[in-house]
Structure 1
Amino acid sequence: MRTLPTLKTLGFRIGLVTTAVAVVCLLVAAIVSYPLIRSAAETQARRQLARQATLVAGLNPQRTASAKVRQLLSKAGTKLTIALPGGEVRGEVLPAADMKALLAGQAFSRVETVDGERSYVEGRPLDDGGGLALVQVASLAPKDQDEFLWRELVAALAGLLVAVAAGVLLARRLARPLRLTSAGARRMAAGERSVRVTPSGPVEVASVAEAVNSLAGALEVSERRQRDFLLSVSHELRTPLTTIRGFAEALSDGVADDAVGTGQIMLTEAQRLDRLIGDLLDLARLQAQDFRIDHAPTDLAEVVRAAAQVWSARCTAAGLVFRLEAADSPVVVRTDPGRVRQIVDGLADNALRATPAGAMMVIALRVEPGSAVLEVRDGGPGLNPEDLAVAFEKSVLTERYRGQRPGGTGIGLALVRGLVVRLGGTITASTAPEGGARFTIHLPTP
């Protein structure tokens, strides 16, 4: 089994894609989460500063040891400013609006620029008048930033490992049934037709296995029909060849009593061989893309009348009753008149062989909405429902009724159907009102 390069395997690509998606998701999460976490941290810091401001205001630091309070706050990175009623300010000088609020004994919570740094400012009134404010730089401490970044990195690595593991498992889950299906297809290519793959995995992957199973079944049926067809053709070839060989040996040995009669028999068998070979060649050409079809505006009524003259005479000679059902008005379609005549002659030839003396053969033409309808009907033994289902299969009916009904090469109806399809039409088989078989052809009209 051919081994694909690792970089080209589905598993590797799925793992790569899932890893890339995980990395992108982690980057997006980090970009989105960092400001949210920072905002939450700032909110928490402001709340904590507000509680400290309320607590310090309750201590009334202008009466107590304000230096000691200031020292404790400084250790926490917080500065203290006290504004006394007389206008005296102790500590950090704040923006004018904040100083005015403090002197007026107003409480406030703001974000200001103090000494060139963005800072949180929490102001509270004092019992004796004036107020105090706590000032804290609005930034995470280096220690907090390092801890935050480290936690982000650990979370990202953990998420990446989980994504890679999930990608590998997913890749194996998807690739395994595909590998099994591929192995089954290769066995089919090697000639095995009994290969069946168990559908598994996701619906799309399982459908591939089901399609391979369907293909294996179709190939099995097709090859069986091909073998049957070859057996039938070999039988058809062997019979006239045996006859010709026998009479040729009789002529060569000088034991033939009637040379003219012997020659006539040999000529008939040779014509039969020629007809079989011609049908085989036509059928082979029909499958080729360069099979010639000359479309042109064609009066089907004229084609049918010309065919009727020939088949009326042949039916009379064979003791059959012939009838033409066609209007005098033209029925014009764009098609190949030569191929249409070949179709009519092929169906009529089958009908002539199958219809007993005294019965009827009919060639009919009529117009329906969107199509011209050609029919060839006969009063022969007809086709049962099982026959209708395989009427256009090569040699099936010939083998089924060998020795019971007069038969042709077994290729005629398959050839007719191929011609009709190449002309863009459809053909069906059914039971005729005359009691035999009816073949109906629809050719599209302009």
Structure 2
Amino acid sequence: MFEFGRELRRIFRNQGRVDTDSSLYELLNLKLLITQGRNLDIEGGRVSTKDRFTPYLEAAEIWREYARRTGDPVALRRAATAAESAGKEARTANEAARAVLEQAQTCILGVDLFETRELLTSAEDLLANGRVAVQDDEGLRARFNRVEARLAARLAIRQGISGDLELALLAMSHIDRAIERADHQVRQTGAAGDKIAAAQARFERGDLLMLVGQDRCDSSLMTAVIKDFEALLVRLDPAYEPVTHARVTLRLALAHIWKGEIEGKPDIISEGIALLSNDENAIDFEHSPLDWAEHKQALAMGLQALAELTLNEEIYEKAMQVYDLALKRPLQKGLLLRAQLANNRATCLAKHAELRGDLGALEAAETAFKVELRGVKAQDDPVGWAILQTNLARLYVARGDITGFMLERAEAAYALEAALEIFAEHGLKSLSTSAQEHLDRVREQA
């Protein structure tokens, strides 16, 4: 372990301004991030500040880090504003390119957090315009490659992994090139920030490989991800890179869980659950709420997968407890993660009830969903309303599977059609896919 006071002295200088080494941001808690972001905003806007570009760019990075950990849309807007201000204050082509990179990364984060698909187009345009200025700067070119790889991965996912894999293969070529250059940069500098950037490039490759592996039921891709992340994990120190270490552990665990699902082997799923059950691998909610929630969701998904394979009711109940724990914590409305947690919990509840043939459990859940639905207005929170409708319809489908007929077929179809319309309007592809699957089940039981 390290002496935290010594680290803070490294972090802060010049009346609380943070060192430009962004790897140190991982050591800052949310309160320190807010304080630092505000200080940098003030410094950038001060008339007496000679170099406004630097504080604005650092402010954009700080606010983006805060938004990534919390899902706060205000912080995301502040990051976008600061990056735009940095672009206006840029004095060289390289500075302008760095500002463009920050704007593009903020757009991509908006897609990750809220599935705001139009931001992908904005990121594409920004990178296309900014790429010209980086020909003579190897480090900046490597950073562009990493962000372009992230964008390519999301474009491939947006089009759907099923069917034509051309976009996925194109994205993988971008990612492999980004990893190669990132590793070269680490060998050249040995800087902690470059090491974290190289790890983030591997996140993109691992996430894409796991999605393709799930779609194709190809456990060999999961094996490749496991090897890559195991090698990466030993190079990270959770004391100095707590957030990156937690994110690598999460992906390593998910690769085990999905490999076990594909191969039908409970012991492999249990390896993933063990990784997530180790408190040393977890991150505190107060330090990064979204990473904590993602960790709990992955643990619940692992338990649910194990329960489905072993038909163990106790494990189902443990999975439900973990989902409930995650959903009790406050999360921003409109977050994709919040929707995923609600959907996954509803699916787990329905499958558990189907296993037990427990109509009483379904009725209790239906009552709870209807009570919650009465407190949500479609005009105020359309996505939240649509998610509840989808979850309610999922229970109707489960009841139909148990009894052989569905009394609420028309009601479920109407709710799902309304939810589909809202999801499509907001560009929420993953939620649209889930709702469509439930609607197809309703129609099959007609």
- TM bucket normalised to smaller: under 0.3
Give 1 or 2: higher strand fraction: 1
TM-score normalized by the length of structure 2: 0.20
User: Which has the greater radius of gyration?
Assistant: 1
TM-score normalized by the length of structure 1: 0.20
